[in-house]
Amino acid sequence: RRIREAQAARLGHTTRAAAWRSLAGLGATAFVRAFDRAARLQTGLAGRGYDGTLRVLVPEARVSVRFVALSVLLLAVLTILTFALERPLS
């Protein structure tokens, strides 16, 4: 956003060619900054001993019987309505 505002302040959007040039510059700058940030993140992870695996605690997932029953009921109703209303309404 800041780069685009700076380009607009420098009249980078006065003509179609200038707008395309500004857009290309914006894309190039965003790519370089993203690549630099990714490199810094990788360096930080390596400094913390990252070995390529993430160890996380996954909470136990419980299945809601009520939700599953209502979902199946809704699908059944939609299927019945689809077949019932399949005939033309003429």
> DSSP state, 46?
H
Kindly give the confidence (pLDDT) of every residue in the chain, 90 residues in length, as a single tens digit, with 9 standing for 90 and above.
777 787 778 776 678 888 888 888 888 989 999 999 999 999 998 888 888 887 889 899 899 999 999 999 999 999 999 888 877 655
Question: Does the predicted TM-score (pTM) go above 0.85?
Answer: no
- Reported as a single tens digit per residue, the pLDDT across 30-55 is 999 999 999 999 999 888 888 888 78
Q: At what angle do helices 2-9 and 16-47 cross, to 10 degrees?
A: 150
**What is the pLDDT, as a whole number, of residue 88?**
62
